[in-house]
Structure 1
Amino acid sequence: MAGLAVGAVVVLALLVLLRRRYVVARVWGHSMSPTFHDGERVVATRRRHYRVGDVIVFRPRSRTTDVAWRIKRIAAVAGDPVPAWLETDHPVVPAGRVVVVGDNTGHSEDSRQLGYIDLAAVAGAVPHRAAPEGS
């Protein structure tokens, strides 16, 4: 009986550790097509540093939909020049923030509408998938 309790505690501890390291999110919509498809599940890994081109999973500041997680590609990181398509008064991306965009820009709510994404809201990065040609 005691062995069973110890085993349950070990399993529970492992699950807690895994949840801190990985996040499973579902792709909603077509903003990341053709790289990711509506309904597809992705696993994001928490990181300390993110780069341009990384696909990240994050919680938006204000949730206008029932979607808990958003999945977008990083277009610029702190210290990078702000992309011309993002209307802002800043010449560079502020510290602790990133600019994101969907691979299917015509059907994406991204930094053009959401503004900068705070790194504290980022759950992790999805293992590398290259952006499709022309995006």
Structure 2
Amino acid sequence: MDSSGWLSALALFLAVGLLAESVRQLRRRWLLVKVEGHSMEPALRDGGEVLARRTRRFETGRVAVVLAPDPVLGWAETRRTGSRDALWLKRIAAGPGEPMPDSGDPVPAGHYFLLSDNPIGADSRRHGPCPAAAMVGVVIREF
């Protein structure tokens, strides 16, 4: 192979590597989540998809993507399903120090009080405030 062949092969290898790194960086920042269930209706419909941005900054009123709690232990343990985490979409009703709906007690530091838009959904009323470590991101757009 002559030098131009080596340069072409090297350029192709670098282009593929750059593309792979770009995809990896996009996946670190963005997340596509399928809406499952009716807990967020009418805002989000079962079977739809949302684009979420991974972040550590959360504002009251936004829809958050969170790790689903364990059905028995609640937020004390997050549920793992194979290699992917089970995710919930819930509206942030109150942040750290803000009054929790119904009780008026302040949300503990490092936690968020999450609610379903539809009253039939499970949320912080059942599982308690969600630890910030279980918060993944915020919804940017619905598809």
Asked whether the 8 Å contact 2:92–2:114 carries over to 1, the reply is: yes
1:7 and 2:25 aligned:
no
Aligned mates of 1:42, 1:96 — CA distance in 2: 26
Give the percent of matched residue pairs that are identical in Structure 1 and Structure 2. 35
Please point out which of 56, 80, 90 is paired with 1:72: 90
The corresponding residue for 2:132 is 119
Q: Which runs of 5+ in 1 are unaligned?
A: 130-135
1:82 and 2:100 aligned:
yes
Higher strand share: 2
Could you give the per-residue CA deviations for residues 6-38 of structure 1, whole angstroms, max 9, x where no partner exists?
111111111111111111111111101110000
Aligned mates of 1:63, 1:12 — CA distance in 2: 37
How much has 1:116 moved relative to structure 2? 1.2
Q: SS state of the match for residue 34, structure 1?
A: coil
Amino acid at match of 2:65: V
* Two-structure CA RMSD over aligned residues (Å): 2.2
The corresponding residue for 1:43 is 51
Q: Which has the higher Rg, Structure 1 or Structure 2?
A: 2
TM normalised by structure 2 equals 0.78
How much has 1:85 moved relative to structure 2? 5.4
How much has 1:73 moved relative to structure 2? 0.2
Aligned mates of 1:8, 1:95 — CA distance in 2: 45
TM normalised by structure 1 equals 0.82
Corresponding residue pairs, total: 124
How much has 1:82 moved relative to structure 2? 2.0
Structure 1 stretch displaced more, 113-122 or 64-73: 64-73
Aligned mates of 1:85, 1:17 — CA distance in 2: 42
How much has 1:92 moved relative to structure 2? 1.1
Amino acid at match of 1:100: L
